Amino acid sequence: MRMTSKRILLINPNSSTSMTDGLSTLLKDMNRNGTTSSQIETYTAPSGPSSINNEDDALETAKIVLADMESRLSNYDAYLVACYSVHPLVGMLRKKVAPHVHVTGIFEASISTSLSLLPLGSGSSYSRFGIVSTGTYWEKALSEGVKDFLEVDDLKSCKRFKGVETTGLNAGELHTAPPELVRRKMMEATKRLVKDKDVRVVVLGCAGMAGLDAIVEEALVEELGEDAKYVHVLDGVKAGLGMLESFLRALPPKK
């Protein structure tokens, strides 16, 4: 007997429909390639900031989305918050949904996935993950988020995390700035991140970077040459959806 397809809601917590359009394009590509088996729907915040550029924006958007969604939380089997930050909506939703409903954010999912891709042993080359993100604000904010997630006192002594490099563009500008500028900024940030040849996973640190994998891949080849083949480019949205689908298969509701 075939299992009923599970429903996942992919939440864009800002009010930018163009960013949601980018997520929808990513979903179409995933469906075309057969990389997802769930019914995945997108959601855009009904109001609030069109780009989440700091923690205040994140908290404001979390409150708006929760108020709008609260009466419909039983409609889905899992939720993915598509903002690359320690977004408070993740914790808020977990407190509201049933125990068998899974919630994660693309930040949390990308770190968990990155760690599983890193080799064991301190002597291995290409043994770290790093993040390419948007504005300079996120260099400290995301580094602090990684530190808390890994529960380490000092990232300087952490052998798993390389750091955060940023483009100087905000999430909205990834879609509105001239494409050549976006490409140049993305490539420069990627090259800075991997120049020491110790990064195995480059994480796209913004939901608005969905579909920009090819630019990062190009930068890897230019900076690392043949060694680019050792480096993974990880989209947090893909990682999050994959993780939630794994949870839904491996952790069915308790009877």
Give mean pLDDT, residues 205-228: 93
Least confident of 91-95, 118-122, 135-139, 221-225: 118-122
d(C-alpha 22, C-alpha 205), whole Å: 15
What b/e string do you get for 104-121 counting C-beta neighbours within 10 Å, with b at 16 or more? Answer: bbbbbbbbebbeeebeee
* CATH number for region 108-236: 3.40.50.1860
Q: Which residue stretches of the chain are H helix? A: 17-32, 55-69, 88-96, 106-117, 137-150, 173-176, 179-194, 213-224, 236-250
Q: Which CATH number fits domain 7-105+238-250: 3.40.50.12500, 3.40.50.720, 3.30.70.940, 3.40.50.11740?
A: 3.40.50.12500
Question: Would you say residue 2 has pLDDT above 50?
Answer: no
- In the chain, DSSP finds a helix count (H) and a strand count (E) of 9, 8
If pLDDT is split at 50, 70 and 90, which confidence band does 175 have?
confident
Q: What is the pLDDT of residue 189?
A: 97
Cα 187 vs. chain centroid, distance in angstroms?
Answer: 18
Least confident of 27-41, 71-85, 89-103, 142-156: 27-41
Give mean pLDDT, residues 48-62: 94
One-letter amino acid identity for 84?
A: Y
pLDDT tens sequence across 75-126:
999 999 999 999 999 999 999 999 999 999 999 999 999 999 998 865 667 8
Give mean pLDDT, residues 39-64: 95
- The structure tokens listed for 167 are 């483009």
- The structure tokens listed for 208 are 């608005």
According to CATH, where is 3.40.50.12500 located in the chain? 7-105+238-250
Question: Would you say residue 178 has pLDDT above 80?
Answer: yes
According to CATH, where is 3.40.50.1860 located in the chain? 108-236
